[in-house]
Structure 1
């Protein structure tokens, strides 16, 4: 059974910068047995990143749409795992105002990091949190999941010319802020035929070129990478073929 001390040591071993910005995608089940369960995992991550910025997804794309067009910042649950739902409710964690692709952040500059997402009209638009990950030179850490869960790549699709990934029509969506403020947040949504399932074909190159390194967090395999290096790698493919991420 893994302890909080074990998990903090694992973060050190895989090369996570405790003073930087860290975006995590995580499978709790893949970690294995942890003393005191999920809260210990979040305690380890939060304590390790206490002098940096810790970011997890708080997405609601499965819960919010034309049939249910309102995302309530305080009450609409995430749709990407139990740990993300626990994390967004923790003291000191703030959640961005994106209607379908919000993130939850804890630590240095968290409020400024999440600011302004109610003005985006796409899932990962320029100026939003995923774009800020690139600007800040963040690390992206996949714990027990592969590139199919790497939402940052959706951002690269938007910024660097991918074809056929965003809908032609907007959905009329709304976001309610933590103080009850209501925002009209219409969205062009993801619409790729195969979507993020093609992202996994990037993994061999990311590993062989050093963009990504492998490690362990509990029993889970980790994939750690630089947002800047990953964008450069993906953008190179999109420049050669804008359909690269929508074709098998």
Structure 2
């Protein structure tokens, strides 16, 4: 059974920068038996990243979310797993105001970071899943790392971001829906939300074609944390490489054919 200390030792060997910015996609089940379960996993990462910025995606895009058309960051559950739901309930955690693609942050720069999503909203009443000036775009600016903790690169929301920034066709729904946002002080505002749209099925199932080339190029590194075979990915070189690929072939992720 793993403990906080044994997990920290694994994290120390992973190449994760403890003073940097880290976003974690996670599978609690893949980690194995942990004393204290998910809270211990979070304790280990929070302690390791105490001088940096720790982020979890706390997405709420599923059919079960936002059924009343209201997004309250304090109460809306996340649809992407156990650890994000536990993380956003921590006393010092701050969740962003994006109704479907929020992130939750802990660290000295947490408030400033999640403010990126609020700033996007101030610039207009129309919102897309991963705008360049939002929290996912900020990962590039911070030269962040992504950790796929027992998760595959099919969960790589950041690639959705790149496709959105490049205006890849058939990614953003032209039809919007009204969502009411409840701020921390209880004030309400209404936005038009354009969600994802995939005419040929969900392209994220093909994002893992990036893994083998990135391992070869040193953009990604395979590590083990607990029982979880995991991957640490450098955001900036991944972005620059993928942008080049998409400019050459905008349909890159429409199929699962290997990248040559």
Rounded to whole Å, the distance in 2 between the matches of 1:34 and 1:60 is: 27
Residue 215 of structure 1 is matched in structure 2 by 223
Rounded to whole Å, the distance in 2 between the matches of 1:49 and 1:185 is: 34
Residue 169 of structure 1 is matched in structure 2 by 175
Question: What TM-score, normalized to structure 2?
Answer: 0.91
Offset of 1:161 from its aligned partner? 3.6
Residue 164 of structure 2 is matched in structure 1 by 158
Deviation >3 Å, runs of 4+: none
Residue 75 of structure 2 is matched in structure 1 by 75
Q: CA RMSD in A?
A: 1.3
Q: 1:177-209 deviations in whole A, cap 9, x for unaligned?
A: 222121223211111222210101111111111
Aligned residues of 2:203 and 2:255 also touching (Cα < 8 A): no
Rounded to whole Å, the distance in 2 between the matches of 1:16 and 1:34 is: 21
Offset of 1:126 from its aligned partner? 1.2
The aligned runs of 1:134-153 (5 Å cut-off) are 134-153=140-159
* Corresponding position: 1:226 with 2:231: no
The aligned runs of 1:29-178 (5 Å cut-off) are 29-62=29-62, 63-64=64-65, 67-118=67-118, 119=121, 121-178=127-184
Residue 253 of structure 2 is matched in structure 1 by 245
Aligned length: 247
Aligned residues of 1:99 and 1:185 also touching (Cα < 8 A): no
Aligned residues of 1:95 and 1:102 also touching (Cα < 8 A): yes
Rounded to whole Å, the distance in 1 between the matches of 2:5 and 2:140 is: 30
- Stretches of structure 2 lacking an aligned partner (at least 5 in a row): none
Q: 1:102-125 deviations in whole A, cap 9, x for unaligned?
A: 110000210010014141611110
Q: 1:104-159 deviations in whole A, cap 9, x for unaligned?
A: 00002100100141416111101100000110100000000111111111111111
* Corresponding position: 1:18 with 2:26: no
Residue 188 of structure 2 is matched in structure 1 by 182
Q: 1:18-41 deviations in whole A, cap 9, x for unaligned?
A: 000000001000000111111110
The more displaced of 85-94 and 156-165 is 156-165
Question: What TM-score, normalized to structure 1?
Answer: 0.96
